Amino acid sequence: MFRSSSVKLCIKGFAVWGPFITAIFFVFGHAGLLVPTASGAPPKATKKPEPPPHVAERHQNVAKVDPSIRTVVLASAAKIDAMVDANHARYSVKPNSMTTDEQFLRRIYLDITGTIPSLKQVRLFASNSDSQKRSKLIDVLLNQEGFASNFYNYWSDILRLKDGQLTNNVPGKPYCEWVKESLETNKPYDKFVYEMLTAEGKVWDNPASGYILRDSGMPLDAMNNTVRVFLGTQIGCAQCHNHPFDHWTQKEFYEMAAFMVGTATRRNGQDKKFGGGNVINKLKDDLKKTDPKYDGGGKYNRFFNGNLMEVYDRPAKLQLPHDYQYDDGKPKQNVDPKTIFGPPAKIEKGESPRIAFAKWVTSTENPRFAKVIANRLWKKSFGVGLIEPIDDIKDNSQPENPELMEFLTQEMIRLKFDLKEYLRIIYNTRIYQREATHAEITPGDEYHFPGPVLRRMTAEQIWDSFITLAAYKPAEYQAEPASVEAKLLNIDLASATAKQIYDREQQLKSAELKKAREARDKDHTYKGLLLVRASELPSPRPPGHFLRQFGQSDREAIEVSSVDGSVPQVLQMFNGPITHMLLEPKSVIYNNVIAEKSNEGRIDVVFQSILTRKPSKEERLAAFAEIKAHGDPGYGNVIWALVNTREFLFIQ
């Protein structure tokens, strides 16, 4: 219905050329009645259908915001606005106009749930006359699963989350799932970080250990990453020499790294906990007799290596490099753990230095822990931090608004690191609800926050918005729980037998598990694409996937996702399956359009679905002209044109 040949359509100043789109015709068959044959013989018995395979699901426990403290939330939001207003007066800055309801609705859905609102949600909000509807909607969205889905994508980029191999045949899925569940339950941020820094054991038994395993065998890099992510400080340059742009010395870096040097991530096959001898060699020898197709054991490495990889602490000392050249130490000199700022970390008797370090990092007395997360979430909401760069804070770094930065830091502490309640305050401010600044912000220039800056959607937000336009109830889909494979891969090497490992390997390849996976995906696939929220897809996606083309990171480095444009993005939007699926019968937007009887109503559906607003008079005339020229396929051209506009791709 919605497809046609090449067309030129101008919507609000954007000239968009359509590619040649082949018309697709659907032929619907009919089911014949079961009747006797001409000879009167009864019909052949049909085979009894097999029962559907069991599809495991993960229980979701979504924490709610406290409705009884809304007045406290609004009071804190008003204090933030007063501080921003004072700064505007100080710098003679005129604040941006307040957003329209349509602009606010689209922004708040994208910022909290990671997707544009549905047509139904747009119309419900438009018809709501409650003067408090914005504040109430913020609470509703913070209480939904979409919050965890959206912020999982955010933390995936920071923590370099990977569903595949975390390290050396250790699957990342248990760790990824733990992060997701921590967001669903709104685990206090200080507890979230503390659990990652102190976790022990295998990733199946204690999924938070995935944080330490992510940098297995690299204690110096692990310390650099930890300080950068959670304390907003880059000390990596001091790993090889005194920091050229900060006051950190190489010795200070090593003193910090000494807190983690005793943290091991892999046991040897001869470890005494396995009973003596080399347990891996013994199991491999036994597998040669058990597995008739034994080919050297490569397929069993996920059992062997995966269960040797374990986080534990043992006594160890860190030494300065053999070529250390500064006067404050000697080559190969032992260094004791020592913090680089704030109160010293006290190592209690019988406590590992790692525990003392975790307590120090997450302490309310740490001068940077609360400040860094408060600044991070401010930047996520406004596009610019009060301190920039957000992960390279120095002693002389000055916030754009020192009074506001201190207030936000103390609010984070007052809220006991409840990130939902902190964001709830920010979203209720007038400054957040102002129109976006369209002028380009040059790095290094101070931005005085007349409103949020114009931001392109992240790759995951674009993907999820297309899913909202195309698929029914995508949030009902869950990725396969980590427990499905964990119960097979997690073995005790001290007692495991070759027969047990062989049987579990066969179960991992079983037809039953394959059928369960096919059943999970069956109703959510279009031309090989799984049409579900980005947070439920294996990540990172492979190069060439829509998400990677639009900037999803490869998760090899911290926060390297991108919102820059590229030629592959243009080609994907012009003629990729993700845009074509919107024009297919049974897509959400297709059905919503044909449900309307008038051309005017159908045009409203298209604009409200994609841009969260009705068309202007000029846009309506352009759309009418397109439909008049091409008939029903003209609606498809309007849809295709709108998803290719900056207005769709950017958060106004």
Residue entry with tokens 């329209």 = 100
Q: What is the pLDDT of residue 237?
A: 86
Q: What is the pLDDT of residue 2?
A: 58
Alpha-carbon dihedral angle through residues 445, 448, 451, 455, given to the nearest 10 degrees: 20
Question: For residues 498 and 51, which has the higher predicted lDDT (pLDDT)?
Answer: 498
> Letter for the amino acid at 11?
I
Residue 500, token pair as written in the block: 């047990």
Asked whether the beta carbons of 375 and 390 are under 8 A apart, the reply is yes
CA–CA separation, 413 vs 417, rounded Å? 6
Task: Write the DSSP symbol of residue 43.
Answer: P
130, burial (CB in 10 Å: exposed 0-12, middle 13-18, buried 19+): exposed
Task: Write the DSSP symbol of residue 233.
Answer: -
CA–CA separation, 610 vs 622, rounded Å? 16
pLDDT confidence band for 14 (50 / 70 / 90): very low
CA–CA separation, 284 vs 290, rounded Å? 10
> Letter for the amino acid at 177?
E
Q: What is the pLDDT of residue 10?
A: 42
pLDDT tens digits, 409-423? 999 999 999 999 999
Q: What is the pLDDT of residue 45?
A: 57
Q: What is the pLDDT of residue 44?
A: 60
Instruction: Tell me phi and psi for residue 117, to 5 degrees.
Output: -75, 155
pLDDT tens digits, 513-569? 999 999 999 989 988 889 999 999 999 999 999 999 999 999 999 999 999 999 999
Give the CA distances from residue 543 to residues 51, 143, 492, in Å, rounded to whole numbers and listed in that order. 37, 34, 36
Q: What is the pLDDT of residue 53?
A: 87
Packing angle between helix 419-427 and helix 369-382, nearest 10 degrees?
Answer: 40
Asked whether the beta carbons of 612 and 117 are under 8 A apart, the reply is yes
For 83-88, what is the mean pLDDT? 98
CA–CA separation, 71 vs 283, rounded Å? 64
pLDDT confidence band for 246 (50 / 70 / 90): confident
Residues 428-457 as b or e (16 or more Cβ within 10 Å = b): bbbbbbbbbbeeeeeeeeebbbbbbbbbbb
pLDDT confidence band for 29 (50 / 70 / 90): very low
pLDDT confidence band for 324 (50 / 70 / 90): very high
Asked whether the beta carbons of 142 and 149 are under 8 A apart, the reply is no
What's the chain's average pLDDT?
Answer: 91
State the DSSP H helix or E strand holding residue 85, giving kind and residue range, or none if neither: helix 70-91
Taking Cα atoms as reference points, which of 23, 29, 369, 22 lies closest to residue 191? 369
Q: What is the pLDDT of residue 245?
A: 76
Taking Cα atoms as reference points, which of 7, 4, 3, 18 lies closest to residue 644? 18
Cα radius of gyration (the chain): 28
The count of other CB atoms within 10 Å of the CB of residue 57 is: 11
Residues pairing with 312 in the sheet: 264
pLDDT confidence band for 21 (50 / 70 / 90): very low
Q: Considering only the C-alpha atoms of the chain, give the largest distance between any 2 of them, rounded to a whole number of Å.
A: 105
Q: pTM of the prediction?
A: 0.92
Q: What is the pLDDT of residue 298?
A: 84
The count of other CB atoms within 10 Å of the CB of residue 388 is: 20
CA–CA separation, 21 vs 583, rounded Å? 11
CA angle 429/432/438 to nearest 5° reads 155
601, burial (CB in 10 Å: exposed 0-12, middle 13-18, buried 19+): exposed
Residue 224, token pair as written in the block: 């650099």
Instruction: Spell out the domain ranges in the chain.
Output: 67-145+381-455
CA–CA separation, 70 vs 603, rounded Å? 38
CA–CA separation, 105 vs 226, rounded Å? 36
The count of other CB atoms within 10 Å of the CB of residue 52 is: 9
pLDDT tens digits, 257-271? 999 999 999 999 999
pLDDT tens digits, 423-437? 999 999 999 999 999
Q: Is it the case that residue 291 has pLDDT exceeding 90?
A: yes
Q: Is it the case that residue 203 has pLDDT exceeding 60?
A: yes
pLDDT confidence band for 240 (50 / 70 / 90): confident
The count of other CB atoms within 10 Å of the CB of residue 165 is: 13
Q: Is it the case that residue 456 has pLDDT exceeding 70?
A: yes
CA–CA separation, 203 vs 307, rounded Å? 9
For 313-331, what is the mean pLDDT? 94
Q: What is the pLDDT of residue 579?
A: 85
pLDDT tens digits, 218-232? 999 999 999 999 999
CA–CA separation, 300 vs 204, rounded Å? 17
Q: Is it the case that residue 6 has pLDDT exceeding 70?
A: no
CA–CA separation, 151 vs 184, rounded Å? 10
pLDDT tens digits, 45-77? 566 777 888 899 998 999 999 999 999 999 999
Taking Cα atoms as reference points, which of 329, 362, 325, 330 lies closest to residue 343? 362
> Letter for the amino acid at 548?
R
216, burial (CB in 10 Å: exposed 0-12, middle 13-18, buried 19+): middle
